[in-house]
Structure 1
């Protein structure tokens, strides 16, 4: 078994050991370079169907490598060469000597030696005929393989064309959408300039950059494990009350207000919009003049260490990609995507597709008919070989018969017959030489034809590959620009989102305080109510569990009420930043007018109905906990039952006192139902 590699350029077959089949394609390329001196960078290995062999895959993973389905090798160095590949002309040593030998044999006298010599010549002509036929069959087989190799490279070209068209179509769609949104992109960039000028005036709250709130929660969790539920409730209430305690002293707020005024002008000058920069400079100067009294009152020791604007914080999040570089990249991408540059390139791409679809170059007209004619020649060649074989066998038979007869009188007629047969064999030999010449010429012509077409294929695929890389780069450019525009759009809403988030945190903390107060009172009374009802049911159960009426007339007296509002709700909003109402008031006093409507103190819902509900529940608990006549009756009956059990008397344990209690109390409506207040 051999591994077959067919060189399409020259129509030659290379053979290798089958051990290479289990190795990588890169190893096969090294073997080709070592054995046949074809550089690796000039090798293109393709299998039937147009799939190009990958260097890191095994050779046996491809269904190719046999003599009828070889691996097709294209030599790029030979393709780019100016001269077409030369098909070597093979000449057998005896093929040109046949005519001279026949002429010499015809001049020999009619003797036994002449018969033997002519018989040997006939056998030799038959052997030459077999070689010529085999050689012609090889030439035609090579041309068929060249045709298959061309079909394989055309299939690969079709795949490349399809991928190229798909990429071009995808880019044209994205670019068309981009052209429609250019005005919108410019408007978003303008909005970002306005937002940048606003962000430069908005101070960043220091508590948003500290992790003290999370550390406080960590200490709180550890204290819960050691100090119990009361310490947790106390700490939670303290954390929530920070929002409402506007009187908590914050020494750095006032100093931060004054010092931040000094830095506004410098921050605003970093804005990307020149028009906004001018306006910001004027407004910052006015702000500085207005707050000069506040700044003068500050002592040097009170200067804050934290003096950062919202814009400063954004600029350091993705260094060196600050807001200015983001806008600069957007404008740079838009300039590179100018229609004056892209439209001519798209025209070139469409022309490349037209070149890739050149049917005059892709289809070799008449090649199938030519190969069919060559197959017919091979068939006639086989017939000539068979005829030469029959004639040679006739020579051998006549020689043997003459040797057996040993009659010289038959030699003249036999030699004359042999002379005629030699002329027939010489004619057949000439026909075989003509077929050989035609097959050799046909292979050379096909190689010349393929050379031109392979060179065209190489250039158009190279051009398509270069355009494809440029299309990929432009597609990435448009995609990245659209992603940056999304970031621009998000940054434009940062001032509003920042203020809304601060207000939302304050609102939630205010809500937490009221919610915990209401939930704590509700849980406390709910737990007492549940335990009181549970105690009464336990008392009645002890009395009624041995009664004859149980599970006969009164079913369901063994059930228990579900626990409700007996446990504290799970903790929530524990990771909120430590923003207080004082911080909100600080922002109100300093932020520009554009965001002032967003910095209003949040208004909570009315908790008064909930407080009334808690008060009603508290009254209900008091009523349930009170000792009514029904509960007293059950208690007395249980005591009497204990006394009767201790005496162990077989008589009935019912006493006149019990009858009196039953007469006066058992058939009364339980007062707990009459005392339940109406809940709203």
Structure 2
């Protein structure tokens, strides 16, 4: 099976393996069909933060897709809602079994009641395995949500690093421009006198001229050197060779530069510089703050300890079920009804242990559910800000 972990709600989705040899677009269409998430609202990442954004690339070309290293799916539409949808566990079966056991405690000791006690303890044992499985599922999904968030962070840090580098390039160029602005202003102010001088200097016949309208053969031959009468001055030659293929004349280009320098005064440039510095600082801060969800690792560690206790309690329920099965077999083999009241009374304490153990398992499911709900809510708010 191809595994896609739906990070928003913490659910593993399974698809047929034939999708692995299909394109990413086909996989997204399969997700749309199964989960009603629009293709354009799906974001797929893999561990390490790589973004699955090439619709034509084969799914199998990515190192992901199994149950321990799935693709991570994010639904952008869900981020518009106040909270993600969340399914609470149903304990109706548990409550009914508890009521049935309480009734058995008050029934007179008979061979039939002994059998009923064995059966209900077996039912609690089977339910213990279900509750243990539910806890495992809830804890495992939180570990995967943690991995999914780590993939988001890895992707975000890569983007931040690129942004930081580009921002630094802009900042350096801005610094250089600020330091040279007065020189540029001085150059523009002196330009009219330079133009007048260039008008007086005649163009020499040896000056090359490669107009954009010339063919390749013409540009490589002596015909690319028109007679000196073609240009009356160096200024004409500059205009023809450097501005013939632009939308602006030399004079217009100068005016654009002049206007730009006037607008880019020192106050504006300083504000741009300050804003850039703030952005760089924010990127550095975000890179440090975004890496971890505060307390999550401790919480996951606590849930693992809880799971160890759940495993222990589930095993105790198995042992109690075996004990009541053996008790029934001995009673039936002896066929002595006179011993039933005393033996049943002594076994009531074990039934109390069954109930107590089951309550521990129910509490564990509720704790794991609460932890997952809080993580879903936390991730929901964090994903909104990404």
Q: CA deviation at 1:382?
A: 0.7
- DSSP 3-state at the match of 1:96: helix
Q: Distance in 2 between matches of 1:407 and 1:99?
A: 29
In the alignment, what sits opposite 1:106?
A: 105
Q: CA deviation at 1:446?
A: 1.5
In the alignment, what sits opposite 1:370?
A: 299
Task: Kindly report which structure 2 residues correspond to 1:619-638, keeping only aligned pairs within 5 A, or say none.
Answer: none
CA contact (8 A) 1:199 1:310 kept: no
1:348 matched to 2:275? The reply is yes
1:404 matched to 2:327? The reply is no
1:452-485 CA distance string (max 9 Å, x none): 32223x2xxxxxxxxxxxxxxxxxxxxxxxxxxx
In the alignment, what sits opposite 1:130?
A: 129
Residue 166 to residue 136, structure 1, CA distance change in 2 (3 Å):
same
1:415 matched to 2:329? The reply is no
In the alignment, what sits opposite 1:73?
A: 73
Q: Distance in 2 between matches of 1:7 and 1:158?
A: 22
In the alignment, what sits opposite 1:5?
A: 4
- DSSP 3-state at the match of 1:65: coil
1:384-404 CA distance string (max 9 Å, x none): 111100111111122222223
Q: Distance in 2 between matches of 1:157 and 1:150?
A: 10
Residue 431 to residue 41, structure 1, CA distance change in 2 (3 Å):
same
Q: Distance in 1 between matches of 2:39 and 2:321?
A: 50
In the alignment, what sits opposite 1:620?
A: none
1:331 matched to 2:330? The reply is no
Q: CA deviation at 1:43?
A: 2.2
Q: CA deviation at 1:174?
A: 1.4
CA contact (8 A) 1:3 1:15 kept: yes
Q: Distance in 1 between matches of 2:19 and 2:158?
A: 28
CA contact (8 A) 2:178 2:269 kept: no
TM-score by length of 1: 0.50
Q: Distance in 2 between matches of 1:106 and 1:171?
A: 80
Q: Distance in 1 between matches of 2:240 and 2:281?
A: 54
1:175 matched to 2:174? The reply is yes
Tell me how large the CA RMSD over aligned residues is.
3.2
Q: Distance in 2 between matches of 1:144 and 1:97?
A: 33
1:190-232 CA distance string (max 9 Å, x none): 5654443344456668998899xx99xx9xxxxxxxxxxxxxx
- DSSP 3-state at the match of 1:427: helix
Residue 311 to residue 381, structure 1, CA distance change in 2 (3 Å):
closer
1:514-534 CA distance string (max 9 Å, x none): xxxxxxxxxxxxxxxxxxxxx
In the alignment, what sits opposite 1:518?
A: none
In the alignment, what sits opposite 1:380?
A: 309
1:439 matched to 2:378? The reply is no
Q: CA deviation at 1:188?
A: 4.2
Residue 312 to residue 105, structure 1, CA distance change in 2 (3 Å):
closer
CA contact (8 A) 2:174 2:269 kept: no
Q: Distance in 2 between matches of 1:207 and 1:335?
A: 39
In the alignment, what sits opposite 2:224?
A: none
In the alignment, what sits opposite 1:641?
A: none
The size of the alignment, in residue pairs, is 370
1:142 matched to 2:69? The reply is no
In the alignment, what sits opposite 2:15?
A: 16
CA contact (8 A) 2:28 2:39 kept: yes
Residue 347 to residue 415, structure 1, CA distance change in 2 (3 Å):
same
1:311-344 CA distance string (max 9 Å, x none): 6644763243331233234334435544433432
TM-score by length of 2: 0.84
- DSSP 3-state at the match of 2:4: strand
Q: Distance in 2 between matches of 1:335 and 1:45?
A: 47
Q: Distance in 2 between matches of 1:162 and 1:315?
A: 38
CA contact (8 A) 1:9 1:451 kept: yes
- DSSP 3-state at the match of 1:181: helix
Task: Kindly report which structure 2 residues correspond to 1:205-224, keeping only aligned pairs within 5 A, or say none.
Answer: none
In the alignment, what sits opposite 1:625?
A: none
Q: Distance in 2 between matches of 1:312 and 1:340?
A: 34
Q: Distance in 2 between matches of 1:344 and 1:31?
A: 50
Segments of 5+ residues of structure 2 without an aligned counterpart are: 222-226
Residue 441 to residue 125, structure 1, CA distance change in 2 (3 Å):
same
Residue 79 to residue 342, structure 1, CA distance change in 2 (3 Å):
farther
Q: CA deviation at 1:129?
A: 0.7
CA contact (8 A) 1:129 1:385 kept: yes
In the alignment, what sits opposite 1:90?
A: 89
More displaced, 64-73 or 313-322? 313-322
1:570-607 CA distance string (max 9 Å, x none): xxxxxxxxxxxxxxxxxxxxxxxxxxxxxxxxxxxxxx
Q: Distance in 1 between matches of 2:298 and 2:155?
A: 24
2:244 aligns with one of 317, 320, 326? 317
Segments of 5+ residues of structure 1 without an aligned counterpart are: 219-251, 272-308, 459-680
- DSSP 3-state at the match of 1:73: strand
CA contact (8 A) 1:43 1:76 kept: yes
1:3-39 CA distance string (max 9 Å, x none): 2222222212222222222233333222222221122
CA contact (8 A) 1:199 1:311 kept: no
Q: Distance in 2 between matches of 1:310 and 1:406?
A: 123
In the alignment, what sits opposite 2:323?
A: 394
CA contact (8 A) 1:314 1:322 kept: no
- DSSP 3-state at the match of 1:114: helix
Q: Distance in 2 between matches of 1:129 and 1:411?
A: 28
Residue 332 to residue 11, structure 1, CA distance change in 2 (3 Å):
farther
Residue 424 to residue 154, structure 1, CA distance change in 2 (3 Å):
same
Residue 27 to residue 350, structure 1, CA distance change in 2 (3 Å):
farther
Q: Distance in 2 between matches of 1:80 and 1:42?
A: 11
Q: Distance in 2 between matches of 1:334 and 1:34?
A: 57
1:62 matched to 2:25? The reply is no
CA contact (8 A) 2:8 2:75 kept: yes
